[in-house]
C-alpha cells in the first residue's frame, strides 16, 4: 500500500529565510507526487506536481520540489518565505495509471509558522 511520511509536524522559519519541507513516499510503481497547501478552514490548493520528466518541478508562489527516486523523496523548497506562506502543507502520492485505485494518499501535514 502506498504511504506518505512528512517527518516534521511543525516548522518555524523567519521571514525571508529559505524553507525546505520534507516528504518521503512509499509506492510500488511510478508515482504521481503532489504538494498542496491549506489555509485554516479552507480547502486544498495545488502548489506543484510531478508526473514524469524533469525531476525538479516549479510551482506557484515561488515553490519548487525535487523528485529523488533513490531516496523516495519529494521535498518542497522556497528560497525566501513570506508571512503569507504560513499554512499547512501536505504531500500526496497518487496512482500513475489512473485506474480503479485512484485516490490520493496524503501525509499528515507540516504546519509552517513564519516569524517576523
Contact call for residue 22 and other proteins (CB under 8 A): no
Which residues are registered as beta bridge partners of 1? none
CB-based contact 89:39 (threshold 8 Å): no
Question: Which of 27, 90 has the CB closer to other proteins?
Answer: 90
Size of the site for other proteins (CB under 8 A): 26
Tell me the three cell numbers of residue 85. Answer: 506562506
Contact call for residue 92 and other proteins (CB under 8 A): yes
- In angstroms, the CA 23 to CA 34 distance is 10
- In angstroms, the CA 10 to CA 31 distance is 26
Contact call for residue 102 and other proteins (CB under 8 A): yes
CB atoms within 10 A of CB 65: 26
| Beta carbon of residue 81, minimum distance to other proteins (angstroms, whole number) | 21
- In angstroms, the CA 35 to CA 89 distance is 7
Question: Which of 13, 91 has the CB closer to other proteins?
Answer: 91
| Beta carbon of residue 91, minimum distance to other proteins (angstroms, whole number) | 8
Residues at the site binding other proteins, with contacts judged by CB under 8 A: 4, 34, 36, 41-46, 49, 51, 90, 92, 94, 97-98, 100-109
Amino acid at each position: 500500500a502506498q504511504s506518505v511520511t512528512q517527518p516534521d509536524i511543525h516548522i518555524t522559519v523567519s521571514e525571508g529565510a529559505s524553507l525546505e519541507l520534507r516528504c518521503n513516499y512509499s509506492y510500488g510503481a511510478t508515482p504521481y507526487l503532489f504538494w498542496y497547501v491549506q489555509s485554516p478552514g479552507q480547502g486544498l490548493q495545488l502548489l506543484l506536481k510531478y508526473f514524469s520528466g524533469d525531476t525538479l518541478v516549479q510551482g506557484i508562489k515561488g515553490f519548487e520540489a525535487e523528485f529523488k527516486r533513490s531516496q523516495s523523496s519529494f521535498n518542497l523548497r522556497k528560497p525566501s518565505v513570506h508571512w503569507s506562506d504560513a499554512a499547512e502543507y501536505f504531500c500526496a502520492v497518487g496512482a500513475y495509471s489512473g485506474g480503479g485505485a485512484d485516490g490520493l494518499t496524503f501525509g499528515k501535514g507540516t504546519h509552517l509558522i513564519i516569524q517576523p
